[in-house]
Chains A and B, each alone.
Chain A
């Protein structure tokens, strides 16, 4: 299931930007033609975030019509 490795990439990229801050939510944009199953990503997200600064974070997905596969933003705890 390639959504697992895609989700790993997402979590790694967000964790890199977050540093040691706790991430509360992540907003993705997934296009209809991206070849990515949103539900599979949601399923993998919980798994992949365990033990990272994203653990327990909410995943929001914004639909799009093309092949978009983007991490739009992250919500981090303000310190």
Chain B
């Protein structure tokens, strides 16, 4: 539900741009875009004349491979039953082979994002972690460090709090509210990009919904996945959420300033990470005391040299 107007029933995501303009991305892929100028009551029964602007290239290029075998596999011999009683009503069915990859649609939309980003030399990074591992705090510091040519897409189920924190650094930001959804999907990022309009050559940080489970499954078209893992979460998280850590291109062990107060065993955490994410670089950082941030900035600058580059 849209916080402002409650008009997004059935929407899968709400994208809040600057000045209150926002779009609702509906389950069928259409976009409802409008602005709430003032707090006028939305008592009219959904008669917004919102432009269903399908100006973006809806690439229906998926191969409709109609190779499905029409195997009439209903094994009933239709005996001629005369006699009394109701006639057997039979509904014949056919089984069609489909072989559709469920995430195929998201993967295709992610590929579209990726080629857009590559064409505009934008380095897109997908930041993921459990809630509260320090994604927004790291961004606040990083954006100040990088200065110009940065943009942020913020994903949360609700509120624009993180976007407000990012906007306070002077960075272009768009909040995507996923409502009931617990992760960002490629089409949300596409529409987020439409309203964000990141500058060519910039770094785009996509802060995913705080969740160690499903964001790992959804490709957004990013150049790299950065997974944060804070020292207060326990050394066993890589084993408990192997998909997330296994998908990472870089792992940041965050809040290291807290280790003196904890029993957290950094070397055990590193060993656990190496098991599920072999060969993935790990950096220890603290936004509180600045430790390790130079490594992170170094990694970013190196990736900026080749924004669309392979992982």
Contact = CB atoms under 8 A, between A and B. Distances in A.
Contact of A78 (B27, B92, B100, B105): B92
Interface stretch (B140-148, B178-186, B191-199): B178-186
B94 interface: yes
A69 B103 contact: yes
Most buried by A among B72, B102, B243: B102
Interface stretch (B122-130, B211-219, B225-233, B262-270): B211-219
Interface in A53-79: 69-78
B214 A2 contact: yes
B96 interface: yes
Contact of A2 (B68, B100, B213): B213
B302 interface: no
Nearest to A34: B217
A70 B12 contact: no
Interface residues of A, number: 26
A75 B182 contact: no
Contacts of A6: 102-103
Interface residues of B, number: 30
Interface in B12-36: 12, 27-28
Nearest to B98: A71
Nearest to A8: B27
A74 B72 contact: no
A2 B182 contact: yes
A24 B74 CA distance: 13
The 7 closest A-B pairs by CB, nearest first: A2-B214, A78-B92, A71-B100, A69-B102, A75-B95, A35-B243, A78-B94
23 contacts: A2-B182, A4-B180, A10-B102, A13-B100, A13-B105, A17-B96, A24-B93, A28-B102, A35-B213, A35-B216, A35-B217, A35-B243, A70-B101, A71-B98, A73-B95, A73-B97, A74-B96, A74-B98, A75-B96, A76-B96, A78-B91, A78-B93, A78-B94
